[in-house]
A and B are shown apart, each in its own frame.
Chain A
Amino acid sequence: MSEADNLQQLATQVRRDILRMVHAVNSGHPGGSLGCADFLSALYFEIMDLEPSQFRMDGRGEDVFFLSNGHISPLWYSVLARRGYFSVSELATFRKLNSRLQGHPSTDKGLPGVRMASGSLGQGLSVAIGQALAKKMDGDSKLVYSLHGDGELQEGQIWEAAMFAAANKVDNLIATVDYNRQQIDGPLEKVMDLFDLKAKWEAFGWNVLEMNGHHIPEIIKVLKQAKNITGKETPILILMHTQMGKGVDYMEGTHEWHGKAPNDELLEIALQQLPETLGDY
């Protein structure tokens, strides 16, 4: 079996985890989580240089990831658990009282893998830039990755950060935008159109790549390509084309499942479309 097939199986299991997690507490954000499952699986299992058993808050000597759109926490928690940061059984505590798996990621409960709280949107790019600059000061050649929603780009701080990164030649950062064109109130172009995103980022001085966020070989290829163009005095952005809700037919391509959990019946329908691969938690 090829590496891509293995990752596909992993992503399928991660999607099952997401659905079961949000269903169990009847809350959380399945849509964006499902849409980024292929990307985050590939990033953590194929691209990033890290050692879960020796997790350090300061990220020294390893690649570091920041989730800026913190509401897709079920995805991140599933990938972290599957990667070995903590036991997959802990996924059952998601959003419950006293859990380390808060509704939005936090550092105060000491969950390995999380270095910054996120959820209030627009802050993660600045944070990633700070970590990237610290790595440069320390002569640490590892990279910083971040993930952002497309609706999140409506926050002004994102563009402050975009200006700052280019002006400061933050070229050890690869930021990815989940370009699913959906947000809570509806299609992105109806809520507030972002027009030509590629041109916008390029105008801000970034090197922009594009990829299909549901084709694992392409994700790996483009992420490797992005790594190859680090260190060239330009920050890198990947516009990742995805479908919100990917993998569950009735959730795909609509904002309806942005922040809503399926009921018992709909969960069963969803899980039938995503057969168990690595074993449920």
Chain B
Amino acid sequence: MITYEVKGHKDTRSGFGEALLELAASDERVVGLCADLTGSLKMGDFAAEYPHRFFQAGIAEANMMGVAAGMASAGKIPFAATFANFGSGRVYDQIRQSIAYSRNNVKICVSHAGLTLGEDGATHQMLEDLGMMKMLPNMCVINPCDFNQTKQATHAIAQYEGPVYLRFGRPKMPVFIPEDMPFKIGKAITLKHGKDVTIIATGHLVWPAMEAAKELHNKGVDAEVINMHTIKPLDTDAVIHSVRKTGCVVTAEEHMLNGGMGESIATLLSNRMPAPLEMVGVADTFGESGKPQELMEKYGLTHQNVANAALKVVQRKT
């Protein structure tokens, strides 16, 4: 088992920007679109190096999604990027009809997802996008956990044929996934083996899940940690296999509990192998302004919350 350690802090969006630049060099079909957030999405280098393959859509996301769909229909691989808020809810019908239903090879790449957007507050803190996107037939939904994994995911979705929603974030976060770690869409990664409880985490909650496992170890609880980077298609085998061993589950995500990854896992287990389950996520409320870490604490998304949920769920095992 690899021991994971933090090698500095970087933002996941920069992983996207770096990978996009690499992809552009290797595949001429790759084009980029952005709705007046090129700097925030780290697409500046791509735009400068490939001006004829970069399209500034202005503050008009609905049109951007449609243009991306049209380009995909002609054989391009468009990466349409903006904030999570503007790349999901604002343009749901455009994504639904022109991208998902029409099965166009568009990569919707969104940054500033969740509470860690921080000071801008609830208007921009998208916490419902995973739910909206996972409900769409044909849509693949991915939420990587650090800079390196975002890079790997960006490369992987370019190879994948079909619509994808790739979600990442704003602040610098621990980098702990090895650069050369294989990334396969729909294939969860077991970061730590354990026998007492399964912790399934996605996105910015994966590192806190690892920290929680350390703390649980000190309390005599042996936790297994699964990095569920792909929300859809869900790696059901990984969940069943682990929970069969541990007998209980904690899910953790920077997303609304309604409609999130935890809900998908709860549904899976209810259908196939009922087991005690605790969910860490945002409980049916909007966010607010604050520093990312302050918000994660206030809304219950820290490693401590994950550890407490694990201790609780272990108690519920019969």
A binds B: yes
A-side residues, CB < 8 A to B, are 57-60, 66, 106-108, 115-120, 122-135, 137-138, 156-157, 160-161, 163-164, 167-168
- Report Cα–Cα, A118/B93, bound state, in Å: 11
Q: Enumerate chain A residues within 8 angstroms of B141, measured Cβ to Cβ.
A: none
**Do A117 and B97 touch across chains, with their CB atoms under 8 A apart?**
yes
Contact across chains for A108 and B103 when beta carbons are under 8 A apart: yes
**B:70-92 near A, CB below 8 Å:** 70-76, 78
Q: How far is the CA of A128 from the CA of B70 in the complex (A)?
A: 6
Residues of B within 8 A of A57 (CB): 73
Contacts known (A123-B97, A157-B62); A107 close to B69, Cβ less than 8 A: no
Residues of A within 8 A of B173 (CB): none
In this complex, how many residues of chain B approach chain A with their Cβ under 8 Å: the count is 32
A120 to B163, CA, bound (A): 19
A125 to B52, CA, bound (A): 21
B residues contacting A by CB (< 8 A) are 31, 52-53, 55, 57-58, 60, 62-76, 78, 93-94, 96-98, 101-104
- Measured CA separation A150–B96 after assembly (Å): 23
The answer, among B31, B94, B103, for a CB contact under 8 Å with A123, is: B94
**Which residue of the partner chain, among B70, B96, B97, contacts A130 with CB atoms under 8 Å?**
B70
In contact, B73 and A125 (Cβ under 8 angstroms): no
Which B residues lie within 8 Å of A167 (CB)? 58
Per DSSP, chain B at the interface is helix
Decide if B76 touches A163 in the complex (CB within 8 Å): no
Q: Beyond A107-B102, A117-B102, A157-B94, is A123–B73 a contact (Cβ under 8 Å)?
A: no
Query: Are B101 and A106 in touch, CB under 8 angstroms?
Result: yes
* Chain A residue at minimal CB-CB distance from B70: A130
Residues on B with beta carbons closer than 8 Å to the beta carbon of A123: 62, 66, 69, 93-94, 97-98
CB distance from A255 to the nearest CB of B (A): 24
A157 CB contacts on chain B under 8 angstroms: 60, 62-63, 66, 94
Which of A60, A116, A120 has a CB less than 8 Å from the CB of B70? A116
Q: Name 30 A/B residue pairs within 8 A (Cβ), A-sorted.
A: A58-B74, A59-B73, A115-B73, A116-B73, A116-B102, A116-B104, A118-B97, A120-B97, A122-B62, A123-B93, A125-B66, A126-B63, A126-B64, A126-B67, A126-B69, A126-B70, A126-B94, A127-B66, A127-B69, A127-B73, A130-B67, A130-B68, A130-B74, A130-B78, A131-B70, A131-B73, A137-B53, A138-B74, A157-B62, A160-B60
Given contacts A58-B73, A58-B74, A164-B58, whether A133 and B67 have CB atoms under 8 Å apart is yes
Cβ–Cβ < 8 Å partners of A156 in chain B: 62
Closest chain B residue to A134, Cβ basis? B74
B49 to chain A, nearest CB (A): 16
Q: Point out the residue from B66, B75, B96, B104 that lies within 8 Å of A161, measured CB to CB.
A: B66
A108 — which chain B residues lie within 8 A by C-beta? 101-103
Smallest distance from the beta carbon of B169 to chain A beta carbons, Å?
A: 27
Given contacts A58-B74, A123-B66, A123-B93, 16 further A-B contacts (CB under 8 A): A106-B102, A116-B69, A116-B70, A117-B102, A123-B62, A126-B64, A126-B70, A130-B67, A131-B71, A134-B74, A134-B76, A138-B74, A138-B75, A157-B60, A161-B67, A163-B60
